[in-house]
């Protein structure tokens, strides 16, 4: 419960007296045990539920594959998202093709589900110059590296959609750590003022690299910050894909109805390292924490139990699915590894619409004419 | 009867005409709406085009520039006003890490057609941080273009060209010249090409490179020197600071063999250094003397009671010319 | 009253349903009619009350004098504060000498009351190189020009005080417009995390140059943002010097007790232009607004009525006071105008502890040796 | 038995010793506490000195740098770690408009003894924006000093000197060299003076100026050229980038008459231009050829699969040397 005291005789009125920040206070529809504890509002059909599960399995396998590829030296540093599948898959599945998606370096599950090719994502992590291209007719932005900076872009694209009467939302993914940056504040404030159809989707995975949220802010939640801008905010179970999807749909509807932005805090956890260059054992009780989340709140597990109970899923389907996604991932990897390598000259392209004289000249400095060139063939 | 405008009027007209001409153009900034901008560059435009196209924003430069990036990627052409150049810093990350790189990162799929206009430079008795001339910060960022007009005519033509350019442009307006003089400015839309310097005055003995408010100082010095010492100065207004118009620079020094660069930015790592280096690269053997830099000093721009002592003067430029000429 | 709905069945819980943002909801002790409507908590004695009035009269005269000096060309662009005297004087009078004061360009009333000499303030606005020096043993920082940036400094100095076990607070003055900058957010969040003894003192004068607060944010108040950081916040009548002073004392006590920062939103109004370069008629109904505030909520007026009713003030005292402050101001002006002018060489001083070769050399470029120097005397 | 350390170890030791030596020293940054920093520069220091002196901050660079300014003004000596150079931009305003100016504005009454350490440069297969080399941004700001070591020995000595310096210092650590090699590093505290370049190798035919990770590239090229072409190269590590050690630069080119500058920053408005200009100002008549710049290109640092092609190589430096030598 949230309460503020407001009296005339003590001057301080905005002190918060109590706030329930326990897991049980999160908006939840599907419990960790796979039971329906909330209302589906007649919106979630079986086909979608099965697709949710399939997508989560796909991206989890993709993630694990990527870690392996990095270990084998076939990819650069990689940022895994295992544990956050419900948040990313559920939110991305709520989108429609014309929406604008602003991922961070950890949101390729969302990008893939929205239509990014896995081969492209591999290329990105292989350091390829063409790793950030969006599929045509979709607006999947390059993964954003400088923390929180994409949040204001998602205000801008949404604002343009609104001005152009296009019925699209923009969604900015960001982390708990990102909520400390000034850009977080400026983005939410702008979105509030211009009532842009922007969804600020925070995956609060509890850590910004090594920093737990308790050290990131004295505030207990991120959702409560929506009140600072008089925009709606919500704190949900980010491992419950139904809650994520339903919340997104509601936020999207509000956005498209001209009622402006929403801040969603999806409480979740990354099971593994911040990136493959990180060692989580240095800063947290990695084993027990990770095990606790895996065992007690895993997003895939609870949906599988639910689907099985509904008679919508079984061992055979699971085996088939696993085979299928592995095949898809392998095919994507073949595509990525057989994709023409970036050439040194590529760096001189697309700096400007028309290359400057510097680029033209420097390109020739790089690509030296063959020493043989004077010798007639 | 020819019509004369101040630089600020020319700038307003450029925006007014492009707003009328291209429905994608949007102006954004602090106090640019009903107030018409602190220098009145956007006077009345909100009344003509409405608050959706001339937008008073909250006081937050990262928010302004960052949301303008989003607007630009999704079909708009934002023209941002930053109240004074030093107040661009909160949006520096957005400019350097995003605006300048979006085309590159997406291999041309998305780009950021955006103009960031901002008054710059000293000499108007402004408070602290109202007088900076830090064009270097932007001329070191591949993906940006940097423009600085010195006349009403060029201001209008360059600003129109900037608003039609597909890449992000930092458009530096010399505060001191906003209302310093009037010039004939055609009523119709015209473009002054970005990337081209202008030979303001031809000459044979020495080349003087300048831009923005320093152009007039350079011209002054050149006139005096011609009168007093009979030296023929070629005065060149660079106009675009990134990418620099190397051909014009080199053609001039090959003719004169001597050069002075005048800028109000700090000397160290100012653009004077880049101009010297271009000359070093391409025309060293033509040079009869070291290129002289007459610049702002390597100190923070001082409080206004002595800001004129910080700025290059015609006197200092003349000394530089004579030093070069008599080397 | 502030209420949030929190239900399990609608996902959105942090939507605010109602908030009383009327004047009457502000914390107030002294009403515009000069009546005591709140508790003085046994803290405010008569001597202090009289001093409050005297200070407010002093700074109001100073402000008017400054505007005149600017008009006469004896000063540069000037930022007046008339209307905001209770906020500035009341807050500064609550401070103790070791506290750190971070003013903006509009907070010279606070600086003067805390001990800055009026001559120094004149020098600042005359563009003198020595206009930003603090009196010895006080920590009055230079007026901060880039909006909101000083707020993080006040976190740092307070943090150092805390680490060094010095019982001092740091106060950052800022405006309603400043609350939109990212630095506002970062400062409040840092102060919350490190529980620094910082007081964030916002003078919400309703406008950031031409932008009314309603266009600055969708949020109705600034004080409510404290909830985003789980720090105390308070919205007070900034024209009621008793409310300001008592709120400050409470915030200071909390800070010194190790209970961290407070956000104070003092609701007030600037009667005049943003600066002498500004024309408020362009963007607001200057006459009626200004008259309304002057007539109905003036900070000097209400305190004078109160003091007169208490038998602590009368016409004679008023006349004496006016004569005295004008004398003081005139003396300060004489000091400022007879102060040695800044010399060009001054710009080369204090760039570093030890001048760089560039400065040394460039100074000689500026201060040309006399052309006569070769000629023997 | 002589002790050898990597650069990162030398940096850790410098901080460790100063933390022990001066109770005013405080470290601040993201993940520098229990995690020991993403490069482990602050490994274990939180355990030795506690969380009040080795502070894990929220993820907000303006907050970090801005509060460090306040700490510095009130008796502390903050040593800030920014995780990668490009992530300093959110704090750019704090650095340029405040840290660099506090002494100036208060006429020496307050000053900001602060060190901002940050890894910089390309070559470690980092993701985007982990490879920038934008020292120009800081070398154009009077009031700052900019330092960039190239060896473990210098890293320790320069960092200790920086922590004892009364003015704000941007301390650029070449990421690529953190663990590239070990070098003998004395156990005791020592200082390497800020503002002094180092002649790494004397020579008579050509001067090569470099810093950070480019120093090794320059040395490599010099060795190969001596072997292959018999040219004697003088290799100079500038170490301090602002203010530059003009005397050492000039003394060298007066001797050799030829010079090459190597840096990984973009060419235009890179510090190479300033070095050329200093030579132009002071030693032009000694020069037998234009000074050659071998630099990063005027493009955003590319994704890592081709970052090595962006960086100057010994091969490119050798070409530059030969071009200069045969001019
Ligand atoms: C401006 C900026 N500062 C620092 C970094 C380095 N960095 C990369 S990820 C990260 C932590 C982000 O945490 P959070 O926002 O919670 O997202 P998560 O990684 O948990 O998904 C940091 C500090 C950065 N990329 N950008
Ligand atoms: C970073 C920055 N952006 C813009 C400005 C220009 N500017 C000076 S004062 C001001 C309005 C400030 O409004 P507010 O914070 O409400 O304070 P007030 O002037 O009302 O006291 C603006 C936009 C600035 N000084 N710094
Ligand atoms: Mg996180
Ligand atoms: Mg205001």
Nearest to A111 by CA among A134, A136, A94: A134
**Contact, C79 vs C275, CB < 8 A?**
yes
For the residues B96-123, what does the mean pLDDT come to?
A: 98
Q: Is the peptide bond before D144 cis (omega within 30 degrees of 0)?
A: no
Q: Which residues contact C345 (CB under 8 A, 6 or more apart)?
A: C363, C366, C367
3-state secondary structure of D194: coil
Q: pLDDT tens digits, residue range A279-293?
A: 999 999 999 999 999
Q: How far apart are CA B326 and CA D118, in angstroms?
A: 46
- CA–centroid distance, residue C211 to ligand 2 (Å): 10
What's the pLDDT band for A18 if we cut at 50, 70, 90?
Answer: low
Q: How much is the pLDDT for C8? A: 42
According to the 3-state scheme, what is the secondary structure of chain B?
CCCEECHHHHHHHHHHHHHHHCCCEEEEECCCCCCCCCCCCCCCHHHHHCCCCEEECCCCHHHHHHHHHHHHHCCCEEEEECCCHHHHHHHHHHHHHHHCCHHHHCCCCCCCCCEEEEEECCCCCCCCCCCCCCCHHHHCCECEEEECCCCHHHHHHHHHHHHHCCCCEEEEEEHHHCCCCCEECCCCCCCCCCCCCEEEECCCCEEEEECCCHHHHHHHHHHHHHHHHCCCEEEEECCEEECCCHHHHHHHHHHHCCEEEEEEEECCCCHHHHHHHHHHHHHHHHCCCCCEEEEECCCCCCCHHHHHHHCCCHHHHHHHHHHHHCC
Which residues in chain B have Cβ-Cβ distances shorter than 8 Å to A157?
70-71, 73-74
> How would DSSP label each residue in D212-247?
TTHHHHHHHHHHHHHHHH---EEEEE--EEES--HH
For the Cβ of C172 lying below 6 angstroms from any atom of ligand 2, the answer is no
What's the pLDDT band for A11 if we cut at 50, 70, 90?
Answer: very low
pLDDT at A304 over 60: yes
Q: Which residues contact C30 (CB under 8 A, 6 or more apart)?
A: C36, C37, C38, C240, C241, C242, C243, C302, C303, C306
What letter does residue C208 receive in the DSSP assignment? E
Q: How far apart are CA A371 and CA B133, in angstroms?
A: 45
Subunit contact D59:A341, Cβ cutoff 8 A? no
How many other β-carbons are positioned within 10 Å of the β-carbon of residue C253? 12
pLDDT at A5 over 70: no
pLDDT at C3 over 60: no
pLDDT at A309 over 60: yes
**Contact, B49 vs B75, CB < 8 A?**
no
Q: Suggest the residue from B305, B309, B320 to mutate for an interface test with chain C (most C CBs closer than 10 A).
A: B305
For the Cβ of D87 lying below 6 angstroms from any atom of ligand 1, the answer is yes
Q: How far apart are CA A77 and CA A278, in angstroms?
A: 9
> Please, what sign has the CA dihedral across residues D236, D237, D239, D242?
positive
Q: How far apart are CA A57 and CA B14, in angstroms?
A: 56
Q: How far apart are CA C332 and CA C338, in angstroms?
A: 10
Distance of CA D68 to the CA centre of its chain: 21
For atom 11 of ligand 1, the residue with the nearest CA is A208
| Ligand 3 ion: Cβ-proximal residues, 5 Å cutoff | A 175-176, 205, 208
**Contact, A150 vs A184, CB < 8 A?**
no
Q: pLDDT tens digits, residue range A42-58?
A: 999 999 999 999 999 99
Q: How far apart are CA B150 and CA B157, in angstroms?
A: 11
**At C234, phi and psi to the nearest 5?**
-150, 145
Q: How much is the pLDDT for B2? A: 85
Q: pLDDT tens digits, residue range B127-166?
A: 999 999 999 999 999 999 999 999 999 999 999 999 999 9
Q: How far apart are CA A238 and CA C273, in angstroms?
A: 50
> Please, what sign has the CA dihedral across residues C325, C327, C330, C334?
negative
Pocket-testing residue among B87, B116, B131, ligand 2, by greatest number of atoms within 8 A of Cβ: B87
pLDDT at C1 over 70: no
Q: How far apart are CA C85 and CA C110, in angstroms?
A: 8
Q: In Å, what is the CA distance from D216 to each residue of C113, D201, D208, D313, D314?
A: 59, 12, 11, 10, 9
- CA–centroid distance, residue D11 to ligand 2 (Å): 41
Subunit contact C126:B305, Cβ cutoff 8 A? yes
In this structure, what token pair is assigned to residue C237? 């009548």
Number of H helices, E strands in chain C: 12, 10
Q: How far apart are CA A85 and CA A107, in angstroms?
A: 9
**At D326, phi and psi to the nearest 5?**
-105, 15
Q: How much is the pLDDT for A373? A: 41
Mean predicted lDDT score pLDDT of chain A: 93
For residue D92, give the nearest of B92, B129, B281 by CB distance.
Answer: B92
- CA–centroid distance, residue C147 to ligand 2 (Å): 5
pLDDT at B108 over 70: yes
What's the pLDDT band for C19 if we cut at 50, 70, 90?
Answer: low
Q: How far apart are CA C367 and CA B309, in angstroms?
A: 10
- CA–centroid distance, residue A87 to ligand 1 (Å): 18
Q: How much is the pLDDT for B278? A: 98
pLDDT at A23 over 80: no
**Contact, D148 vs D241, CB < 8 A?**
yes
Q: Which residues contact A125 (CB under 8 A, 6 or more apart)?
A: A66, A69, A70, A75, A76, A77, A78, A131
Q: Which residues contact D214 (CB under 8 A, 6 or more apart)?
A: D262, D263, D264, D312
What's the pLDDT band for C18 if we cut at 50, 70, 90?
Answer: low
Report the largest interatomic distance among the alpha carbons of chain A, rounded to a whole angstrom.
Answer: 97
Q: How much of chain C exceeds pLDDT 90, in percent?
A: 89
Query: What residues does A211 pair with on adjacent strands?
Result: A208
**Contact, D47 vs D70, CB < 8 A?**
no
Q: pLDDT tens digits, residue range D114-138?
A: 999 999 999 999 999 999 999 999 9
Q: How much is the pLDDT for A6? A: 38
Q: How much is the pLDDT for D2? A: 85
pLDDT at C170 over 80: yes
pLDDT at C4 over 60: no
Q: Is the peptide bond before D243 cis (omega within 30 degrees of 0)?
A: yes
pTM recorded for the entire structure: 0.97
Q: Give all domains of chain B, ordered by start, each with its CATH number.
A: 3-185 (3.40.50.970), 198-326 (3.40.50.920)
For residue B306, give the nearest of C145, C208, C342 by CB distance.
Answer: C342
What's the pLDDT band for C25 if we cut at 50, 70, 90?
Answer: confident
Q: Which residues contact B251 (CB under 8 A, 6 or more apart)?
A: none
- D98 belongs to the catalytic site: no
For the residues D160-173, what does the mean pLDDT come to?
A: 98
In this structure, what token pair is assigned to residue A17? 């007296």
According to the 3-state scheme, what is the secondary structure of chain A?
CCEECCCCCCCCCCCEEECCCCHHHCECCECCCCCECCCCCCCCCHHHHHHHHHHHHHHHHHHHHHHHHHHCCCCCCCCCCCCCHHHHHHHHHHCCCCCEEECECCCHHHHHHHCCCHHHHHHHHCCCCCCCCCCCCCEECCCECCCCCHHHHHHHHHHHHHHCCCCCCEEEEEECHHHHCHHHHHHHHHHHHHCCCEEEEEEECCEECCEEHHHHCCCCCCHHHHHHHCCCEEEEECCCHHHHHHHHHHHHHHHHCCCCCEEEEEECCCCCCCCCCCCHHHCCCHHHHHHHHHHHHCHHHHHHHHHHHCCCCCHHHHHHHHHHHHHHHHHHHHHHHHCCCCCHHHHHCCCCCCCCHHHHHHHHHHCCCCHHHHCCC
The active-site residue out of B47, B98, B130, B263 is B130
In this structure, what token pair is assigned to residue A2? 């949230």
**Contact, A103 vs A141, CB < 8 A?**
yes
Q: How much is the pLDDT for A19? A: 60
C178 near B CB under 8 A: yes
The active-site residue out of A270, A297, A302, A304 is A270
For atom 26 of ligand 1, the residue with the nearest CA is A146
Nearest to A275 by CA among A373, A225, A207: A207
Q: In Å, what is the CA distance from A129 to each residue of A80, A142, A354, B141, B247?
A: 21, 11, 19, 19, 32
Identify the closest residue of chain B to D95 by CA–CA distance.
B89
């Amino acid at each position: 419960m949230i309460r503020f005291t407001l009296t005339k005789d003590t001057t301080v009125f905005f002190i918060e007296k109590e706030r329930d920040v326990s897991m049980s206070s999160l908006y939840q529809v599907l419990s960790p045990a796979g039971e329906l504890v909330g209302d589906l509002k007649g919106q979630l059909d079986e086909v979608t539920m099965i697709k949710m599960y399939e997508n989560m399995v796909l991206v989890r396998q993709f993630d694990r594959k990527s870690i392996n590829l990095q270990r084998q030296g076939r990819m650069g540093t990689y940022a895994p998202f295992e544990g956050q599948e419900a948040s990313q898959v559920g939110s991305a599945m709520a989108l429609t093709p014309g929406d604008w998606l602003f991922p961070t370096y950890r949101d390729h599950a969302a990008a893939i589900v929205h239509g990014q090719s896995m081969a492209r994502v591999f290329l990105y992590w292989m350091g390829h110059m063409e790793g950030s291209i969006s599929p045509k007719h979709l607006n999947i932005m390059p993964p954003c590296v400088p923390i929180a900076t994409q949040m204001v872009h998602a205000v801008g694209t949404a604002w343009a959609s609104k001005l152009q009467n296009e019925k699209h939302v923009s969604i900015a993914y960001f982390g708990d750590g990102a909520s400390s940056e000034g850009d977080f504040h400026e983005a939410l404030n702008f979105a509030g003022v211009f009532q842009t159809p922007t969804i600020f989707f925070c995956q609060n995975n509890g850590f910004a690299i090594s920093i737990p949220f308790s050290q990131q802010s004295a505030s207990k939640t991120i959702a409560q910050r929506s009140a600072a801008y008089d925009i709606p905010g919500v704190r949900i179970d980010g491992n419950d894909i139904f809650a994520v999807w339903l919340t997104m749909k509601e936020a999207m509807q509000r956005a498209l109805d001209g009622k402006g932005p929403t801040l969603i805090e999806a409480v979740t956890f990354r099971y593994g390292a911040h990136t493959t260059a990180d060692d989580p054992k240095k800063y947290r009780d990695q084993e027990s924490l990770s095990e606790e989340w895996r065992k007690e709140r895993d997003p895939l597990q609870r949906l599988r139990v639910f689907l099985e109970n509904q008679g919508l899923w079984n061992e055979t389907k699971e085996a088939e699915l696993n085979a299928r996604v592995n095949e898809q991932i392998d095919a994507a990897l073949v595509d990525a590894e057989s994709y023409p390598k970036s050439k040194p000259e590529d760096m001189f392209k697309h700096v400007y619409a028309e290359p400057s004289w510097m680029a033209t000249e420097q390109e020739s400095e790089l690509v030296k004419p063959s020493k043989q060139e004077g010798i007639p063939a | 009867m020819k019509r004369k405008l101040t630089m600020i009027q020319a700038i307003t007209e450029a925006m007014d005409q492009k707003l009328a001409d291209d429905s994608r153009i949007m102006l954004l900034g602090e106090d640019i709406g009903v107030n018409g901008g602190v220098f009145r560059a956007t006077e009345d435009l909100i009344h003509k085009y409405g608050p959706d196209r001339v937008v008073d924003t909250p006081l937050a430069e990262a928010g302004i520039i960052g949301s303008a990036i989003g607007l630009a990627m999704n079909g708009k052409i934002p023209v941002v006003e930053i109240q004074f150049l030093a107040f661009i810093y909160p949006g520096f990350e957005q400019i350097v890490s995003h605006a300048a790189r979006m085309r590159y990162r997406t291999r041309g799929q998305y780009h950021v057609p955006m103009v960031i206009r901002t008054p710059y430079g000293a000499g108007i008795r402004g408070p602290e941080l109202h007088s900076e001339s830090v064009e270097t910060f932007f001329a070191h960022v591949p993906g940006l273009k940097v423009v600085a007009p010195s006349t009403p005519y060029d201001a209008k033509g360059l600003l129109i060209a900037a608003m039609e350019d597909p890449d992000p442009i930092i458009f530096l307006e010399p505060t001191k010249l906003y209302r310093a003089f009037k010039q004939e400015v055609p009523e119709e839309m015209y473009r002054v090409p970005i990337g081209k310097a202008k030979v303001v005055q031809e000459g044979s003995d020495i080349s003087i490179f300048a831009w923005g408010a320093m152009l007039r100082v350079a011209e002054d010095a050149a006139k005096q020197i011609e009168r007093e010492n009979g030296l023929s100065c070629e005065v060149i207004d660079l106009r675009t600071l990134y990418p620099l118009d190397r051909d014009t620079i080199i053609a001039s020094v090959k003719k004169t063999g001597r050069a002075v660069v005048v800028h109000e930015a700090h000397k160290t790592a100012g653009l004077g250094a880049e101009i010297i280096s271009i000359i070093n690269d391409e025309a060293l053997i033509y040079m009869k003397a070291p290129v002289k830099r007459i610049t702002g000093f390597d100190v923070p721009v001082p409080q206004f009671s002595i800001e004129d002592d910080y700025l290059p003067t015609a006197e200092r430029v003349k000394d530089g010319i004579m030093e070069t000429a008599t080397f």
